[in-house]
Amino acid sequence: MVENCVLNYAKGKQSAEADASLTMTRAALDEIVLGEAKLPEKLVAGEARIDGNPEKLIEFLSLLDTFEFWFNIVTLGCARNCMSRQPLERTGELKSIGYELFIAALSVLSIANMLLLIFVQNASLEYVIVTINAVMTPIFLGDFLYRFFTAQSKSRYFWRKFGWADLFSSLPIPNARILRLFRLWRVFRLFRAFGMRNLIDQFISRRAENALLTVVFLVLCVLQFGALAVLYVEYNAPDASITSASDALWWVFVTITTVGYGDRYPVTNAGRMVAMLVMIAGVGLFGTLSGFLANQFLTPPAPKAVDVSAAAPADPKARIAELKQMLAAQEEATADLRAKLDEIDALL
């Protein structure tokens, strides 16, 4: 009987007397761990394989409880003493990868603005930075409310997982913005637990879902730094039409949206260089946004995946019989595929 056990892994070692072996790709394992796919689906698709006695493996899996991604792993390596990793306690405050990176990027921009306000001495330039900070404030407040109401334990999130720092850093208090460093710490935990390579792969594989958040962040960056740049080079120019923070922000916004009213425009060569960069960025950003919207509204909805674990009978014997049928279907599909490959090979 399997009871109160942990998952053990010995690098480069495999039991010679194993009843069954389960082999799959790392990508398939990641999808199963993240809940994006089920093991029977991977078996049918040929991305996973069972060697040995499948009944033993099925019997073992039927005894396992459902577990989340954040479970304890005891790793046995080449060292003499066993090393264990403390569990990363998941309380619901960690969201999707794209969302966490979006909030982290906004936090970096906010902290960078705090440093810029120290060195910038021009009132108009300061007003540009303050305006962008004001735009980010409701985003951070919404992030706190989202995490608070979706946390498994609200008190634990607020007091032990730096929820209080999220709250104070989202308020329009200048000195409290430094508390947004705790958001960066949360993303660092995500990188450490999941691995940078896996995070990048997941972000790229869901690029359509992350496109909107990426565009929002880049638009804020172009608005701020484009306005700062054009205002800096145009401020003291003769006959300049961009002489205030509102002029600069208005000009950058209508330029990146490719509207271009023409009521504000740069007159210096440096200002025109800034305008060229802003126009190129605007075409790329809003082209990406148009593609995202087209993908969301025109792509047909994907068929709903059958939740095998939820539909499985409570009786272990009935569940074993059902999984045997799935294995038989997988073997039949594999045999058909091999027959077709043999036919093609004969023709060649």
Bridge partner list, 76: 10
CA distance 211 to 89: 29
How many domains, the chain? 2
Across 274-293, average pLDDT:
85
Q: Select the more confidently predicted residue: 105 or 95.
A: 105
In a domain, 305, yes or no: no
Please write the tens of the pLDDT for every residue from 110-163. 888 888 888 888 888 999 999 998 999 899 899 888 888 888 888 888 887 778
> Are 134 and 233 found together in one domain?
yes
Confidence of residue 69 (pLDDT cuts 50, 70, 90): very low
CA distance 148 to 140: 12
Cβ neighbours of residue 240 under 8 Å, at least 6 residues apart? 234, 266, 267, 268
- SS3 call for 222: helix
Residues 319/312, Cβ–Cβ less than 8 Å:
yes
Please write the tens of the pLDDT for every residue from 195-247. 677 777 777 777 767 788 888 899 999 999 999 999 999 888 888 888 889 99
Model pLDDT, residue 280: 92
> Are 237 and 118 found together in one domain?
yes
> Are 103 and 82 found together in one domain?
no
pLDDT above 70 for 260: yes
> Are 19 and 122 found together in one domain?
no
CA distance 191 to 197: 9
> Are 161 and 246 found together in one domain?
yes
In a domain, 145, yes or no: yes
Residues 250/264, Cβ–Cβ less than 8 Å:
yes
Model pLDDT, residue 302: 60
Host domain of residue 292: 97-298
In a domain, 337, yes or no: no
Domain termination residue (choose one: 87, 106, 134): 87
In a domain, 330, yes or no: no
Whole-prediction pTM: 0.58
Phi-psi region of 314 (alpha: psi -120 to 50; beta: other; left: phi over 0): alpha
> Are 5 and 45 found together in one domain?
yes
In three-state form (DSSP H/G/I as H, E/B as E, the rest C), the secondary structure along the chain is CCCCCCEEEECCCCCCCCCEEEEECHHHHHHHHCCCCCHHHHHHHCCEEEEECHHHHHHHHHHCCCCCCCCCEEEECCCCCCEECCCCCCCCCCCCHHHHHHHHHHHHHHHHHHHHHHHCCCHHHHHHHHHHHHHHHHHHHHHHHHHHHHCCCHHHHHHCCCHHHHHHHHCCCHHHHHHHHHHHHHHHHHHHHHCHHHHHHHHHHCHHHHHHHHHHHHHHHHHHHHHHHHHHHHCCCCCCCCCCHHHHHHHHHHHHCCCCCCCCCCCCHHHHHHHHHHHHHHHHHHHHHHHHHHHHHHCCCCCCCCCHHHHCCCCHHHHHHHHHHHHHHHHHHHHHHHHHHHHHHHHC
Residue 14 phi, psi (nearest 5)? -145, 135
- SS3 call for 115: helix
